[in-house]
Structure 1
């Protein structure tokens, strides 16, 4: 497995490279077919220079889905240890989920004949919540945190290309990126949906219902 290291705001020393190579063997043992591990180290110094930290981002590339993990610490070597631990745990969970599914099928199950999805929690998103976000009742970060009316309630905005996939694949993708949720478009219903982790191997799905006209005040804005 190849490794690539990039430093942002920090130099990458030979010692750090050798530690990365050593840690990478843990990951390679779990996924022997992995092709490349990309490591990005970002150093941040906060206002006044009173606080600094390093964030290590790991991206594992192979024939399957991309696997990611990251961690932050005052020391980049400690951040690397934490990120590797996270990625190994994600890979173990994904492997354990596949083994458990073969031995004890449970959770989401799609009946090809009836088209029914069972064993998973499905519910529409709250119309009140959608309306609150659309009308700005729940604020979104815009970079104006210093303004007098700034609120500590934070919603960070990210945009991704839409991906169509079945619920089962979305669950696997969620496990591999180490998140508690995963946004996708259900290939069976063409509805924007989110899978989320509950307990153990139990998962839930939130899907948007049939489209309807937005409230008049949203159109006016």
Structure 2
């Protein structure tokens, strides 16, 4: 497996490179089909309080979905250990799910009568969640502004190509990248949808249904 290590705002020492390459062996053992491991180390310094931290991002690519994990600490070696542990756990869980799928074939089934999804632990979003999304009640921190007021939620802007898949496949992809949500196009309905983590192995799903505006609104 090829390993690439880059630093953003920080130099990569020979010692860190050696340690990272040694730990890549653990990843390769868990993901034998992986072809490349990208290690990105980002240094951030905060003027308020003089705090500094290192973020290590790991990305595994090869035959199959991309797998990602990241961790932050004041010491980049500690951040590397934490990120490797997260990535290893995601790979282990994905392997267990593949084995379970072979032994117990499963699949999401849509019940037209009740509108429920059978065969997967997914629940519709609650009224409170839908209201929060609709009214924009989500704190946003502009990471480019050093003077921005602190908020525990940081929203990054990223663009991805649309992917059509089932809800079950979206849940699996969410687990592989280690996120709490995953955006996709539902192959069953062609609606933009999001699966998100609830408690344990319980998940939720939010779908958008768009209707064309009246002709008079388009004319105006």
TM-score (normalizing by structure 1): 0.79
1:179-218 alignment runs, 5 A limit: 179-211=179-211
Matched with 2:10 is 10
CA 1:124 to 1:7, structure 2 compared with 1: closer, same or farther past 3 Å?
Answer: closer
Matched with 1:50 is 50
* 1:63 positional shift: 1.1
Please identify, of 15-24 and 46-55, the stretch whose mean Cα deviation from structure 2 is larger.
46-55
Matched with 2:159 is 160
**Residue 110 in structure 1 maps to residue 109 in structure 2:** yes
RMSD: 3.1
Please identify, of 73-82 and 95-104, the stretch whose mean Cα deviation from structure 2 is larger.
95-104
Distance in 2 between residues matched to 1:130 and 1:81, nearest whole Å: 35
Equivalent residue in structure 2 for 1:128, among 113, 128, 131: 131
1:28-107 alignment runs, 5 A limit: 28-47=28-47, 50-105=50-105
Q: Which runs of 5+ in 2 are unaligned?
A: 214-220
Q: Which runs of 5+ in 1 are unaligned?
A: 214-221
Structure 1 runs, 4 residues or longer, greater than 4 Å off: 124-127, 142-147, 150-155
Distance in 1 between residues matched to 2:156 and 2:38, nearest whole Å: 25
